[in-house]
Amino acid sequence: MRPEIPDHPGPDTSSLLISDLEEALLAVDRVRAGRIIEATCAASSPVSCIETLIVPVLEEIGEKWEQGQVALSQVYMSGRISEEIVATMLPPGSPERITQPKIAIAVLEDHHTLGKRILLAVLRAGGYEVTDYGAGVTVDGLVERVIQDRIEILLISTLMLPAALRAKEAVTRIKEAMPEARVIVGGAPFRFDADLWKETGADAVGRSASDTLALVRGMAGAVVS
């Protein structure tokens, strides 16, 4: 049995708390996950708590999925539970969210949504406000919305190779109108061909939810600064 959570956890307990939170999320135990986060974050800001506790745990769960140690459903539920808890700590519209860059995600010309739902949950659990453009988005529709919304970081997900190749047109047109925009592509075609993302003109490729979260964190920091 795990030890009780101290009222004011210090450095010596942080590793254990991270392990406890990971265990609670993988067990889909929202109550215990909430207790761990509440106790750990009592003396810090929501953003600091997210960065030092929640994000590392989600990244670890993502890495374990890549290694075949956890199920995809566990990755999804971990993200959803964390997203719900973060929403109470850092509600939409709070000043700390408003100062973030404008981020959007879309599934280009495909109608699969599981990968997008997982990534969206993980990003929101990481404290980011993300506009969901949905699935089956056309190149014309995507370019129009990104320019209209002045999106600074765009995530494009694809399932089939034709859609991945069409991403090149979308990226080119977006970059022509908004050179400062950053684009991350992801999905099955980019995992099968490690260099395919470079042909699209994107700034990076996200090979997993945890990998993409790290990319967004880096890009968001550069945009805000």
> The domain spanning residue 68 has which CATH number?
1.10.1240.10
pLDDT for residue 157: 93
Domain boundary, last residue among 56, 89, 122: 89
200 and 165 belong to one structural domain:
yes
pTM of this prediction?
0.74
Would you state the torsion angle of the CA atoms of residues 40, 42, 45, 49, taken in this order, to the nearest 10 degrees?
10
Measured in degrees and rounded to the nearest 5, phi and psi for residue 124 equal: -70, -35
122 and 216 belong to one structural domain:
yes
Q: What is the DSSP string of 64-117?
A: HHHTTSS-HHHHHHHHHHHHHHHHHHS-TT-HHHHTSPPEEEEEBS----HHHH
Domain boundary, last residue among 43, 58, 89: 89
pLDDT for residue 210: 80
Query: Count of residues for the chain?
Result: 225
pLDDT for residue 225: 56
Partnered with residue 205 across adjacent β-strands are 185
Give the structural domain span for 199: 103-224
d(CA 26, CA 21): 9
pLDDT for residue 86: 85
Q: Average pLDDT per run of 10 along the chain, which is 225 residues long?
A: 43 72 95 89 79 85 87 89 85 71 93 81 88 95 97 94 93 97 94 93 91 90 68
